[in-house]
C-alpha cells in the first residue's frame, strides 16, 4: 500500500509520524503509527484508534483529514493523513518576534502579523467546528498547528476527547 521512511517527522505520547508514498496514487502522506512500546497496552491502543476514528469524522478544511486506518503485518496500528508541508504555528510566532527582524519595515511586519492572525482565526474556526461536534482537543498548542505553504492552517487532532468522555 505505502512505502514509508524510517525518519520520524514528529511524535507525541501515542505515536510517531512518518512520511509515506502511496503506491497507488503516488501522493505523499503522513502516517502515524502507535508507538511500539504502547502496542501491547489495550488502553493506549483504544486511545489511538479513538483518535483516528474521531479525526476521520471531522470534515473541515482546516483539520487534517484521515484517509485510511489499518495495522502493519506485525499488528502495529496506523492511520494515514494529508501530509502538510509548512511550519508550525509556534515557528511562525517565533519568526514574528525574531529580534533580528525587529528593524524590518513597519508595513512588512504588519503584513506578517495580519497574515498570522488570519491563520489563527482559521484555527479557531476548526476548533469551534470540533467543539460543535462534541470533540475536545486536550492539547492545543502552537506546536500542534501546521501552517501550510498556501495559507492553510491545519489542526493536528491528537489528544482528542468527546464530550461524553468528560461526563
Residues involved in catalysis = 139
Of 71, 73, 87, 67, nearest to 9 (Cα)?
87
Distances (CA, A) of 71 to 15, 31, 49, 79, 152: 13, 11, 11, 8, 30
- Phi, psi torsion values for 158, nearest 5 degrees: -75, 160
Q: Which residues of 145-160 are buried (b: 16+ CB within 10 A; e: fewer)?
A: bbbeeeebbbbbbbbb
Amino acid at each position: 500500500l505505502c512505502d514509508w521512511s524510517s525518519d520520524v517527522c514528529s511524535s507525541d505520547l501515542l505515536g510517531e509520524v512518518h512520511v509515506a508514498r502511496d503506491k497507488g496514487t503516488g501522493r505523499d502522506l503522513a502516517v502515524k503509527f502507535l508507538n511500539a512500546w504502547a502496542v501491547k497496552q489495550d488502553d493506549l491502543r483504544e486511545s489511538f484508534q479513538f483518535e483516528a476514528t474521531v479525526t476521520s469524522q471531522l470534515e473541515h478544511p482546516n483539520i487534517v483529514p484521515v484517509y485510511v486506518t489499518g495495522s502493519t503485518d506485525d499488528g502495529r496500528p496506523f492511520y494515514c493523513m494529508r501530509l502538510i508541508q509548512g511550519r508550525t504555528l509556534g515557528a511562525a510566532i517565533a519568526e514574528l518576534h525574531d529580534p533580528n527582524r525587529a528593524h524590518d519595515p513597519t508595513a512588512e511586519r504588519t503584513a506578517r502579523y495580519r497574515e498570522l492572525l488570519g491563520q489563527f482565526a482559521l484555527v479557531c474556526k476548526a476548533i469551534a467546528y470540533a467543539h460543535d461536534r462534541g470533540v475536545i482537543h486536550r492539547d492545543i498548542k502552537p506546536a500542534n498547528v501546521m501552517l501550510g505553504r498556501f495559507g492553510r492552517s491545519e489542526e493536528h487532532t491528537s489528544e482528542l476527547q468527546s464530550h461524553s468522555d468528560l461526563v
